Every structure is written in C-alpha cells, then in structure tokens.
Structure 1
C-alpha cells in the first residue's frame, strides 16, 4: 500500500483563515450580496486562537447560502480566491509539499471548506486530491444540504479513511498536518502527525505526545509560542537587552549590510563562548531572526540541545563535514539551504570551534569549506561579520562569564561588512575569500596581535593550562 500526506487548510497551509478571501471573492462576483452575521469577529478570533464552535457553526450555515444557485455560479469566485490564497501559502509549506511528491506520496487537502470553492486553490498548489465538504446538487442547482459527511473532526477522519480505502493508501504510513485540536482524531490515525501553528490545546497534546510542532513560516524544528505567534528566538531577543549584561558594553556596526528580507548567509569568526549572546544582541538590532549551524556536542546536551534546536539551531557533526565526505555530510547544509530558500538568514562560524593556543593569535583566519559549499548551493548573498572583545568577557579558560567587571566593562563589538564576491569554482579559494573578508573587519590590534604572555595564552585553553609544547610561543610578562 502507498502513503499520502494530508494537509489541513486554515492556519496550516494558510497562516490565517481562508473565509475572508472566499467571502470577498463571492461578493465581488455578485454571487452573494453580504457576509454572514458576525463573520469578521469570528474570523478574527479564529486567526488568533484557532478553530472554535462559532467558526464551525458559520461553516455549517454556508450551505444555505448556496441553496438554489447553479453549481457553476461560484466558479469565478473560486478561481479569484484560489489565486489570492495561493499567494498566502508560506514557503516552507510549499517545500514540504514538494518533499512529499519527491518521496512518491500523494498530497491531499483535507478541509472543512466546501470542495467547489477550494478546488481551484488546490490545483494551483499542485495538490493531487481534495477531501472536503461537498454540497448536494439536484437539477444542476445546490439544494442547501450536504452530500456526504461534514468534513470536520471525526467527520474529517471518516472522509479521509474512505478516501484512503478507495486509493489503496495506508494511514499508518501516512502524514497529516493540522493546527486544530478538533483534528486530533485524524492526527492520531496516521503514523506521522504534525501540529502546525497549533492552537493552545493541540500544542499541549503535541507536547505530551512528542509530535513535531511546526510553523510553515519558519524552518522545521523552530518553536513558536501559541497565540503570540513569536519564535523562541524572538522571546530571547526581548531578554537580550544590553542592560541585562552590565559586565559588557555592546557596539554593533554595519547593520545596513544585513538584508532586511530574503535569504542570506552570515559568516563570522569565533573567539569566545560569549559570541552567541553578542550575536543575539546584534540580531535583535537588525530586526531579523536567523538559523545557525552548531557543533553536535552542543545539541547532544540533554537540556541545552532541545533549546538550541527550538532557537533555530542546525546540528552539525564535524567528523562528517570534512573536505572529502559527501552524501550524509550534506544533510546540515541541505537544512540550511532550505532555510535560505524560505527567505531566512543562516549563520555559520567557518572556524568550527574557538581557536586555542597559538592559533588564537594567528594573523590569518582558517575555516572549513561548509560556508563556501552552502554559498555555491544557494547563490545567496554571503555577509561577513567579526567579533571582538567577547574573549575578555568570557575567555575559553573560564566556566562562566566575568560578571564582576561592572565598573569597567570591556567593549564587545559586532561588525558586519558588505557581501563577499565569490567565484563558485573552488571551495578552497572561496573559503579563503570568506576568511579574508572576515579578517578585514577586525581592528589591527586583533588581526595582528602581539605575541601573548603565558597568562594570555592560558586563557585560550578550556582548562587554562598551556601544553608544554606551546609554552615557548608565549613571551615573558
């Protein structure tokens, strides 16, 4: 048997309700003269909190609007609405539909919305089948009654089961996506459920059942707060105010180089554990969220790992991303490429880890080829940035930041530069171009530092102990 993917419509494929667009199209074409009672208030509530008994009652009454009208009377309105609604579909929903098609699964729109009104939208989206509420017709006119089940809650599950039986589809191998607690019967019937932009009750159920919680306007795995509609990263932005870090001063330069929309790759140096808080402060000032690639060791930590994923992190296994590894090693870059295709920013620290010992004081920055490879895959703008001063707040030798320096806090600087011109012919040469562009943003005393004292050298090691073979690099002081 085959598998299929079932998508709900409102607040799932679409970020909001489809009702306003359908009603507007029907009024414009003269099929109806006015909207249903309390329509605006009900749809407004729906957009914020999800499906309610009021919105369902409104949907049930819609069959009465069609009573006595020719079955083709709504065709023009449906076509107009289909065009408008297709423009409201989020990019990651489109990519997921394509992913299911590549895997050989048929894609099905399963919705309470009347079939004759929503089929043009489904066709525009390349959706294979529609399971929707159908109106009974007699003599070429709608009768005001239903032809089959009202496709909602258990009625939707019944309709999907009947469709699956007719099309030889195994629900236990299939996927379903919805925002509503009323679709819980359908989500529990498939082997791969997904809660998309879930209402508060479905959010709680999905957390309890450990189902994926998705939002098609962000990368998979990025958590959003129900009702508020904010990413966890945006919540972190609210907390990342400079006054909450009295032991550091922040200076952010070159924000005009960060694109205000569309996908891009941000590449920077790595100097300290404090780089991440500094970047959060900088991104808060840019007004954009972003995804970031991080080493797997961070994601493997029991509490921190899920938090990093919810914030938008992409797990990278450094042992599988060297110059010679292909295949599975590209998986993190494919996730990053999808984020860029969805119009998001992706951050990479090409050095991979904080340089230690003599490498921390080297005049040239050396990086891994992942950023250049991702740039070649996506052709997205590559924006360099540089940290300075973060190592004074939280050196690698310390388990915690130096939080007592409130009287004379060090200055932490994040500087963005113009897009880097890459050639896409050689990953090695493009990596050199990327690292040079980052280095060019560093002040001379950081890019060309003096040889360190033994104490300064020790701060670059996790345990604060300089190996015997590196001690000769330090000067007396």
Structure 2
C-alpha cells in the first residue's frame, strides 16, 4: 500500500466565496431553460423560498437547520432536467464563481498544492453544481450531495445522504479511508458551526469567516480563525475590521486635539484596489496623522512597523489585528516584504515610510530625502501604484526627544499631510526608483523643506531620543531595527 497522503479540505459557501453559490447556479440553470420553476406551482414556492433564504439569512448568519430544509427539498425541482444541459449551465456558473473566490483563498490553495496535499472541495451543494467548479479551481476531489438520475435526466431524488453536518463529516471520513488520506495531518476550512464535526476530524482545523457558534467553538478548542477576504491575522467583528469600527472616531478633534491638521489630495488614494502609500518620517505622531488620512479616504491599510512597537503586548496585538506587518530590520528577512506583497495581491493598501526610521541629527534637516528600497521592490514585484504623502510639522506635536506628545489646546502646531499622484516608476533599478519615490514625497513638502538649513544644537537634540548625550552634529550609530542611540 502506498504511504498515506494528506489533504486540504475546503467548504465552499462563506468560505472560498463570501456568499452563496446556489443563487449563481440557479440563475444559469434558469437562463439555459433547464430550471423552469415558474411552470411548476408546487415547486416554485419551495425553490423560491430557498433562494430567498439563502440570499438573505444565509449571507448574514450562515447555516441553520431551518435553512437547510428548503435546500434539501430543492432537489425535487431537478426532476426531468437533462444531464447534458445541467452540466453546461453549471460549467458556465463555475466560470463566474471562480472570479468570486476570495482574494486570500487563492494563495492558500496554492500553498497546499505546493506542499503536495490533495485539494478537496467538500460542500453540501449538489455534485452537478460543484464538480465543474472544483475542476475549474484545479481541485483533486469533490465531496457533496449526489442527485439520482437515469442516465439522461435527473429524477428529483437524492442518491445517498444529504451531505450536511455529521453526514458531511462521515462522507469526508469515508473518502479519506478510500483514498489513504491521513486526516490527522490534514487541514480543513469552514465557516459553519455545523461543520464542527468535520473540523474535529483533522489535525489542522481552521474556522473561516465563522458564524457566531463556530467562533465560540473555535475559541474553546483553540482553533485558529481567518477571513479570506483580508490578510491573515486581521480581526473582524460582525463582518467588519477594527479599522472600520473605529473610523467614526477617527477625527482630528478627537484623536489629535493638540494639532491643527490640514489634509489635501486625498482623492489620489484609490477608492479600491491595491496601492503602496509612502510617507516621510518626522515624528512619533506620523502614524496618527496617517491613520486619520486613511479614515478620511475610507480605506483600510496594512502598515509596516518596527518590531519594538509590535512587541509591546497590548499595542502589538492590536496592530497585528489591524493587519500590521512586523519588521525586524536587523534580521535581514524578506518576510515583511513577502507579507506586504501578499496583501497587495489581495487588493489591499500597504503603508510604509521608506526612510525606515526618523532621521537624526543633521540628516533630519537635509533637504534631500533618502530612503530604503523596500517600497520600490514591492512596486516592481506587484506593479501597483505608489502614492506619495508629504508630512510636515508632525515633529512640533511629538518630537523624538519627548516621551509623550505635547498637548496645548491654546498652541496647536500646524501639521500638513499632502497626497500626491502615483509616482512614475521604471522598475529597472530599485535604487533609482527609490530616488524617484523620495523626490515625489519631497515635492509635496513646503518650499522651506527643500532649502538648506543650519539647525541649532537645541534643534539637533530634538531629533534624538530622551537622554541622548552623544554628538548632536552627527548621525548616531545604532543597531538596525532599534531606537538605541550611541551614548
């Protein structure tokens, strides 16, 4: 006997796609003249009721026993449907549903394929529906509800169990036995509490977009939870990200009452689709201003940030839950850029400061901005637009030399955040494109930012951490990825 293999088992509705696939299949069957439900007064209310329930209740709360009853009875409508016509209609429906697969499901599928695991689509939906979809997605096996037929037409009866809940788990277990698959080392993904028996079968269960009861079950059992429409690790509550819930509170008068902030060019941030947003780094106050900027733009963002911030217990967990990417510059790892590239390919916005950290000493006042090549490399890899943002005055609110921001409602420093059009990159040289990015940011700053300036010793000291006692006229040597200055 061959050595046991492993599998990655995916549910379909509310897992691989965000809603129900049945409405798409039924629409194509109706357009093909196969499902002539209106001519059958007995079946019409059954199927219509099932479709309505799926479209509304299912999308909101997921599966329920009540919802599954009309779905189970809907097989009666298939009586007399020609196999050939059903297959063609479902093939067309599958081509449409492939485009509905959630953005972060695709790399997950490819990850399992690369690892040599069998890809299995396990859905309650009828096999005539799901088999062409599984083929279009490149899956190896399909598990689902079978419809009886006489060789040319469907009879309107089930051919075996309605594959749902415990029966779905039993079908997967029987398939695994027949195919020498070791479930204890396999993965399973589902949104439904009623798939808990299936998730219990495998060694690596994952709750995807879980309904309330599955979310509670996953918390009790220690199962990981994911949402395949956003980057891994992003927390969603009632279908919305933390950034979306907090957006109504992201107003300058509430978040930054000690600054007079002016935003301009927000329309340059794409309303949808991926983008790399880059900004110059002047202050610990910069992330607050950028957060307010994205709230005004109505976009969620994935920010790259130093490991020191992510390692703070509560703040770090919150940042990760909002999709932040932890960067440990000293490690030289490509992991942060790979995570950022994955977010961009999933249609998200990534934000980073090409300078990497706040410049110190004379470098802070240098009119020529210098950056690292991370943004340029990301842009070359993904070919998404790079949107520059010029920040000015943030250091007046929270200079690097202060442990806390300055707060004075009577003396509110002027802060500007200016968004420019996409940078024209050539993708031939990371260094040259980085220079283009920094030039674009510089062009968004006020004229005095581009003029040579001789800072005083006091001004130089504001660019160093509290307690710094080294030479303020030189950039201090420090270990990459830390904020520890030489003393």
Q: Is the 8 A contact 2:34 2:81 kept in 1?
A: no
The verdict on how the C-alpha distance between 1:460 and 1:209 changes in structure 2, with shifts beyond 3 A counting, is farther
Q: 1:280 aligns with which of 269, 285, 291?
A: 291
Shift of 1:472: 9.1
The verdict on how the C-alpha distance between 1:468 and 1:135 changes in structure 2, with shifts beyond 3 A counting, is closer
The verdict on how the C-alpha distance between 1:472 and 1:213 changes in structure 2, with shifts beyond 3 A counting, is closer
1:2-401 correspondence to structure 2 within 5 Å = 2-28=5-31, 29-34=33-38, 35=44, 36=47, 38-43=49-54, 44-67=56-79, 69-72=81-84, 74-138=86-150, 140-226=152-238, 229-244=239-254, 245-321=256-332, 329-401=333-405
Deviations 1:212-251 (A, max 9, x none): 322222122212112xx21112123222112213222221
Shift of 1:144: 4.2
Q: Distance in 1 between matches of 2:95 and 2:261?
A: 47
Q: Is the 8 A contact 1:134 1:147 kept in 2?
A: yes
Shift of 1:73: 5.2
Q: Is the 8 A contact 2:327 2:336 kept in 1?
A: yes
Shift of 1:109: 0.7
Shift of 1:11: 0.7
Q: Is the 8 A contact 1:237 1:280 kept in 2?
A: no
Q: Distance in 1 between matches of 2:469 and 2:226?
A: 47
Shift of 1:253: 1.5
Q: Distance in 2 between matches of 1:87 and 1:266?
A: 27
Q: Is the 8 A contact 1:240 1:277 kept in 2?
A: no
TM-score normalised by length of structure 2: 0.89
How many residues align structurally?
462
The verdict on how the C-alpha distance between 1:435 and 1:208 changes in structure 2, with shifts beyond 3 A counting, is farther
Structure 1 equivalent of residue 479 of structure 2: none
Shift of 1:68: 5.3
Q: Is the 8 A contact 1:109 1:127 kept in 2?
A: yes
Residue ranges of structure 1 left out of the alignment (5+ in a row): 322-328
Shift of 1:41: 4.1
Structure 1 equivalent of residue 445 of structure 2: 442
Q: Distance in 2 between matches of 1:257 and 1:116?
A: 46
The verdict on how the C-alpha distance between 1:316 and 1:64 changes in structure 2, with shifts beyond 3 A counting, is same
Partner-residue secondary structure (3-state), 1:194: strand
Q: Distance in 2 between matches of 1:312 and 1:192?
A: 23
Partner-residue secondary structure (3-state), 1:402: coil
The verdict on how the C-alpha distance between 1:96 and 1:139 changes in structure 2, with shifts beyond 3 A counting, is closer
Q: Is the 8 A contact 2:367 2:450 kept in 1?
A: yes
The verdict on how the C-alpha distance between 1:427 and 1:139 changes in structure 2, with shifts beyond 3 A counting, is closer
Q: Is the 8 A contact 1:149 1:155 kept in 2?
A: yes
Deviations 1:367-390 (A, max 9, x none): 222112212211222221111122
Partner-residue secondary structure (3-state), 2:195: helix
Structure 2 equivalent of residue 413 of structure 1: 416
Structure 2 equivalent of residue 325 of structure 1: none
TM-score normalised by length of structure 1: 0.90
Does residue 469 (structure 1) correspond to residue 463 (structure 2)? The answer is no
Q: Distance in 2 between matches of 1:18 and 1:367?
A: 47
The verdict on how the C-alpha distance between 1:462 and 1:149 changes in structure 2, with shifts beyond 3 A counting, is farther
Q: Distance in 2 between matches of 1:13 and 1:24?
A: 20
Residue ranges of structure 2 left out of the alignment (5+ in a row): 39-43, 476-487
Q: Is the 8 A contact 2:9 2:188 kept in 1?
A: yes
Greater shift, 355-364 or 296-305, is seen at 355-364
Greater shift, 348-357 or 422-431, is seen at 422-431
Q: Distance in 2 between matches of 1:198 and 1:265?
A: 30
